[in-house]
Structure 1
Amino acid sequence: MYPKILKSIALRSPVFGPIVIERDRLRQEVAQFSVERGRSVPELSGVMNPGYCHCCRQQTVFEIKGSWLRDQYLCSNCFSIPRQRHIQHVLDTYFQGWEEKNVHESSPSNELISRYCASYSSSQYFEGVAEGTFFNGVRCENLESLTFPDHTFDIFITQDVFEHIFDPARAASEITRVLKPGGVHVFTAPKHKGLRKSYPRARLQGNQIEYLLEESYHGNPVGDGKALVTWDYGDDFEELMNSWSGSTTTTYIIRDRSLGIDGEYLEVFVTRKKGDME
């Protein structure tokens, strides 16, 4: 409250008024520079803008909570983050009627997609639990050896999962197998700028993990909350996905603050199985 009062007084002052106006102008330029670079800077924490959220499907206010927009640019209503809003924007825009399809999501961390889809199912991977069985009400599935029959799903969704898989080629092939003809794998994964060739960071040797590079972890909705990063993906990621899946991958990328979509690693990838979707 007091900063607003002081600013109002300063704006009426012939000495401080121009200084405050110039400060605000510079802040706007910094904000615009941040948009163009795809990230905010610490000074922008607390910046808000109105817009439409595809996750909660209503007008809302988006707020920057920190310098890493990918995880800290939140919808004030559903608390979604940019990559979640982008993946649902892609579904709503390019796959209209997806809510009536048979959808499976691997390793979801929220209910943002399930709330709209009647034929929705999900799974997590639990170490030591038999695949295809349920643990605490959640189905256990390993993307490298799915237990679903061929041609089961119209849409298969993974969000920031493929960078944690030891054998992504096997996983991509398995996802394609369980998709119906014309079905799509809609997913996100960090694709690193300036990295020409993707490479593994760790691999399995029997039951032991061999670390090829320094260990790196992301958050995990199950287990101890940590997920080992096993691959760093670069410019050849789509080419790899095409060869692994035997299908064609399309990349979607936008930056639009009116949709709450801004930050790093915003790509949404869609791999479509050959054939026509029903």
Structure 2
Amino acid sequence: MPRERALAWCLHHFIPDWRSMVIHECSPAERGISVRMMKEAPGYIGSHYYSDVPRGQKNGPYQSENLEQLTFEDNSIDIHCHLDVLEHVNDPGACFTEMMRTLKPGGFIIFTTPVYETKATTERRAWIREDGVEHLFEPEYHGNPIDNEGAAVTFHFGNDLSSLILNWAPGASVRQVRLNDASIGVLGEFRDVFVVQKPDPNPPGFVTRVRNWLR
């Protein structure tokens, strides 16, 4: 899919040494960049939201995790990655708090989510309650790799998403990349990639950065 190719391009462009890093991918697909990260990055951890598996435990090749309440230690992950997950969570602010907590200094969050270019501000579409989903508009569901019933859409994100991220992840830098390149198969709508970086109070020197890039 175009958004997956766009994320792959951004991963290679902004984090060229990703293969040597600890990568957590939330809700991976059985294709494309998800499979490549799993095969080529020894530190890869894939997770799904399993309602019947305790958090932190394995279910086959994947770990049970809730993006709003991660079980990872502080400063333990180099990259958090997800494709079209954020529009299904109940509290995106809590997700960013957890991802920033668990990222190492200088670590990255790289993800896609549909951005509605005609919307100036983000719109909540549903609430996830203990007794089910409370829809505020016509119910909308997207595909879910572990549930044939799909995942309820809780948000339509607007052009304010980058600003919201800055509020949810104080001190972080945010790049919103909107590729339009037929040569890499990235055309159409919903192709935005967000690259969020946690600040590093002690960034590596120039020689270290070049050595990491050449690895």
Maintained 8 Å contact 1:126/1:223:
no
Give the conservation status (yes or no) of the 8 Å contact 1:201–1:212. yes
Higher strand share: 2
8 Å CA contact retained: 2:46, 2:61: no
> Does residue 261 in structure 1 map to residue 186 in structure 2?
yes
- C-alpha contact 1:180 1:277 (8 A) present in aligned 2: no
How far, CA to CA, are the matches of 2:44 and 2:60 in structure 1?
A: 18
Match of 1:125 in 2: 49
Q: Does 1:103 align with 2:23?
A: yes
Who is 2:207 aligned against?
Answer: none
1:83 aligns with 2:3: yes
CA shift at 1:97, angstroms? 1.2
Q: Could you tell me the TM-score, scaled by structure 2's length?
A: 0.87
**Counterpart in the other structure of 2:69:** 145
Task: Name the counterpart of 1:93.
Answer: 13
Asked whether the 8 Å contact 2:178–2:191 carries over to 1, the reply is yes
Unaligned runs of 5+ in 2: 205-215
Inter-CA distance 105–252: structure 2 relative to 1 (3 Å threshold): same
Shift of 1:135: 2.2
What is the CA–CA distance in structure 2 between the aligned matches of 1:245 and 1:114, rounded to whole Å? Answer: 27
In 2: Cα distance, 1:243 partner to 1:120 partner: 28
Identity of aligned residues (%): 33
Deviation at 1:128, TM superposition (A): 2.5
Alpha-carbon shift at residue 225 of structure 1 (Å): 4.5
Report whether the alignment pairs 1:194 with 2:118: yes
User: Take 2:129 and 2:179, find their aligned partners in 1: how far apart are those partners?
Assistant: 39
Question: Displacement, 1:209?
Answer: 2.5
Relative contact order, CA 8 A, sep 6+: which one is greater? Answer: 2
**Secondary structure at the residue paired with 1:177?**
helix
**Per-residue Cα deviation, 1:190-209 (whole angstroms, up to 9, x for no partner):** 00011011021111344443
With normalisation by structure 1, the TM-score equals 0.68
Contact 2:45–2:62 (Cα < 8 Å) also in 1: no
Query: What secondary structure does 2:148 align onto?
Result: coil
Please tell me whether the aligned partners of residues 197 and 236 of structure 1 are also in contact (alpha carbons under 8 angstroms).
yes
- Which of the pair has more CA radius of gyration? 1
2:109 corresponds to which residue?
Answer: 185
Deviation for aligned residue 1:165: 0.3
Structure 2 counterpart SS, 1:219:
strand
Extract structure 1 runs of 4+ deviating beyond 6 A: none
Unmatched tracts of structure 1, length 5 or more: 1-80
- The one-letter code matched in structure 1 to 2:26 is S
Q: 1:277 to 1:92 in 2, by over 3 A?
A: farther
Encode CA deviations 1:198-240: one digit per residue, 9 max, x unaligned.
Answer: 0211113444432111110000100225011000100111111
CA RMSD of aligned residues (A): 1.5
Q: What one-letter code is carried by the residue in structure 2 that aligns with 1:156?
A: H
Give 3-state SS (helix, strand or coil) of 2:167's partner: helix
Q: Contact (CA 8 Å) 1:183, 1:277: kept in 2 or not?
A: no
